[in-house]
Structure 1
């Protein structure tokens, strides 16, 4: 569990009660057929969902606490009902997709989805009700081409539609989030056991929720929507078996993530908690024969670069390098392992919600597991 550091000497006490109900239903049909020499895998589906959340918020005040000379158990003011309301969302989605095999080395994916969403927010204290209905069509197109058997080239285009829950500080319903993504890449099978993937992507999202840090808004209580964010970058992954018993899983990601359009946040500001550079390497070796067959060790390195705490880019979390390790034994149906996280007990920050709430990384941790497969 992450430790939470809250630097705010809070003088407002809050009691929040919530009741949430979620219902989801999904059904899809899959059919395979051919039109001449072209093979098809057709998918048709429908999903429906309902989400209801009731919230009661009581607030009171307390004397501020001096961090250097705290006085505890000071009396609180009586709590009063600040908010009592309900949020309701109903969604309906209909989608169809056709995966087409044109030739042995050329595949095409064509799909589309229609979404309908209705959100209602009722504030019983203020006696108000807000309602909105949204709909959207989201296409999806992809292609995979193999010029030679070990090499696969692919490209895709897709859009997304995501209804959001809750309201702004002013009581307005959030607009659904929309996304558009382009991606292209290549996958190479170095041999039968080892492969590598290189991908380039460009993702644009609008109406993305982020903590509302405006003056006058209670800290960490409300969210606001940014008009447009863009993330684009490169991802390289290598995985598989180098030699018998020696496995590797490595990845590198460069991400250029920034605000591209907004009324309050400067254009060009980087997205919170997103590093420009991240790298991971996990390698393990398992003895393949002899008396110690099944005994293995693993070692991992995980690097995360500097990243902003908030969209205002007021503070950056420092980069860190974490080392994990493991010792394991596998024989027939028996499994046993010791996993070591943050082997050198590095002090680092994992993420942040705002300048007032930063999460520390997990300290040196040992976890043991024993299992038997039936």
Structure 2
């Protein structure tokens, strides 16, 4: 499906032609000046403004927001978005489709199990589609915007929104870094980031990475590469043009993890692969473009225009444990694992155009900072899914009929690979248009009020090529928000907010019925801290989220969904980051989350009963991540060292049963030292004490084990 949707080809092509070499922003830094934490002063835009945010200091926003910087990612040698999000306790890992996509829950809510978790890249949706797990190359920072953002962004998950801000061209400068690293399991990686000032107003930033190596899982290897260039053009002092390109490829075997029989997490070693090496790698590809233009009319008003196109394609086959008990011989003899064989071709195209006007004006004694915007997007999701599944145990007869793998002594390639039959063959096309407005009113020098809302209209057309059934649905919704911020004292600010949201459900049930959108309500209040002259910042928040029209994937009909009713999540969070006395950098994130079903229904996946009060899958009650680091001198040379700890509580590993994943605590250490001017040695040890842990599960037969102790060392050169 790799093509340019006609709706966007015209305006984006015109914009590309109109700007020489297309372009990009001026800085990786946040778009507010360093003194923005002082609410009494003016906020100055210094680069391309992030959409939906306006010119607000974080303490002025009635919402819990935390950031993960590129420096933190570099310190910990974090290479995947999934691992980066572990640093925020409000985010929990979910089922990753055998390691082929990013899946996470924010404040207990995970979204559609049949699609990757949605996230934004520079304000545009980059999580839709099937591009493999996001690499951290080229990331300047990760913003975790908690609570529903539907009043501005629209169509989002109520728990929160993850926005990735990429490294962008810095006008008029030439600099760069290159690095190479070697890690456990014979993993090699090279990465480069070079900013080239072509003229005084035109700059190109070239970012790329390549990675290859094995895994702690038997027989598995991986190959990944990406090219992420950007171009920045300044047209006078008031206009910035930004162009970003994305080309990535990930090739990894599809891996559903291990089985846990009768609650025994030692049923098989964590290294044992239960698929079939003969299936080869599953390959995920992405090609994307972003174009943004910002024009500042004056120091009060600015306009942001943008467009995004992204195509993804995932292809491959896998051999997975059969999940239906009547077809699973393992439950009879405790050693013979009946398996399905699956083949996938998931193709998607996503396009967005958007515009946003930001202004600052007064009416009498009141100051208004407004955002007014509109966007339109088109998402096409084309899925071809084939499956072979073993017959019921009584009819299996031979091991070949059940595609059996002996857990104790696996022999790969024992049987010819079964030929799967067509199970899902359909295309979903969603169109959505939204308009929004927000006004943050300064009532006094201490009190600000935020009011806003968004109106969305969307349509979904589903063409089931397997059954010949075509379905259509259109809907619209208004999502309001209201919030208040009160500056209690110099270091403390109180806030409270209420918002409503919705997320349009993609796909249908097996009969072709399109579901009503998920709807949500959120109530949140908290305290924000700014101490030591802005060097230490934190937030304590309490919240409650209620969601209706929740869906789950249909295990008997992969690619389709079923309704399971209502859910609720409530809890308390603490996020703290900055520099303590003694020049110690600190990061602390804690969350208590009580996420539960609020409807009594029959679980569609495994026919278990879900009762009100049952916990949602993969959501721990308690999560904490803490980290300390300090700059030091090593033999007279500059360096730093630090360490961290992450604790994740026990959580449900399957809906409707008592199967639970155990709690775990992981420790890590890291350090770096300058060998020569511009040459740095770095290293990290994750899972320092080689803890046996489990990242997530979908059922006791699909449990993802976490990596053992992993060591990485590398060299980084800068110029």
Rounded to whole Å, the distance in 2 between the matches of 1:52 and 1:297 is 47
Does the 8 Å contact 2:424/2:559 carry over to 1? no
Q: Which ranges in structure 2 are unaligned for 5 or more consecutive residues?
A: 1-79, 81-98, 100-216, 218-255, 260-320, 322-336, 390-399, 603-609
- Farther off after superposition, 173-182 or 107-116: 173-182
Equivalent pair of 1:270/1:313 in contact (CA under 8 Å): no
Once the two structures are TM-superposed, the CA of residue 267 in structure 1 deviates from its matched residue by 0.6
Displacement, 1:139? Answer: 0.5
1:169–1:222: 8 Å Cα contact kept in structure 2?
yes
Aligned length: 369
TM-aligned CA deviation for residue 243 of structure 1: 2.0
> For residue 58 of structure 1, what is the aligned residue in structure 2?
386
Check the 8 A contact 1:211/1:223 in 2, yes or no: yes
Higher share of residues assigned strand: 1
Question: Normalized against structure 2, the TM-score is what?
Answer: 0.48
Aligned with 1:194 (options 536, 544, 562): 536
For residues 66-105 of structure 1, what are the structure 2 equivalents within 5 Å? 66-67=405-406, 68=408, 72-75=413-416, 79-105=420-446
Contact 1:211 1:353 in 2 (8 A): no
In structure 2, do the counterparts of structure 1 residues 282 and 297 end up closer, same or farther at CA, with 3 Å as the change threshold?
Answer: same
Corresponding residue to 1:150 among 470, 491, 496: 491
Q: 1:203 aligns with which of 520, 530, 545?
A: 545
Higher mean alpha-carbon deviation, 235-244 vs 25-34, is at 235-244
Q: Which residue of 2 aligns with 1:344?
A: 689
Task: Compute the displacement of 1:256 (Å).
Answer: 1.1
**Cα distance between partner residues in 2 of 1:368 and 1:280:** 23
Q: Choose which of 579, 585, 593 in structure 2 pairs with 1:247.
A: 585
* 2:372–2:437 contact (8 Å) kept in structure 1: yes
> Aligned-pair RMSD on alpha carbons?
2.5
Instruction: State the structure with bigger RCO (CA 8 A, min sep 6), 1 or 2.
Output: 2
CA distance in 1, matches of 2:680, 2:458: 47
Residues 309/37 of structure 1: CA separation in 2 closer, same or farther (3 Å cut): same
Task: Give distance in 2, aligned partners of 1:78 and 1:242.
Answer: 61
With the length of structure 1 as denominator, give the TM-score of the two structures: 0.90
Quick check: 62-71 or 43-52, which moved more?
A: 62-71
CA distance in 1, matches of 2:443, 2:600: 44
Cα-to-partner distance string for 1:314-357 (whole Å, 9 max, x where unaligned): 30000000001100236986654212211122110011122221
Partner residue of 2:371?
43
Counterparts of 1:226 and 1:332, CA distance in 2: 60
Pair 278,290 (structure 1): closer, same or farther in 2 beyond 3 Å: closer
Q: Give the corresponding residue for 1:267.
A: 612
Contact kept in structure 2, 1:251 and 1:281, CA below 8 Å: yes
Kindly indicate whether the alpha-carbon contact (under 8 Å) linking 2:340 and 2:388 is maintained by their aligned counterparts in 1.
Answer: yes
| Aligned match for 2:500, one of 147, 154, 159 | 159
Given the alignment of the two structures, is residue 5 of structure 1 paired with residue 257 of structure 2, yes or no? yes
- Equivalent residue in structure 2 for 1:317, among 661, 666, 673: 661
Structure 2: distance between partners of 1:154 and 1:333: 44
Structure 1 alignment gaps of length 5 or more: none
Per the alignment, in what secondary structure is the counterpart of residue 294 of structure 1? strand
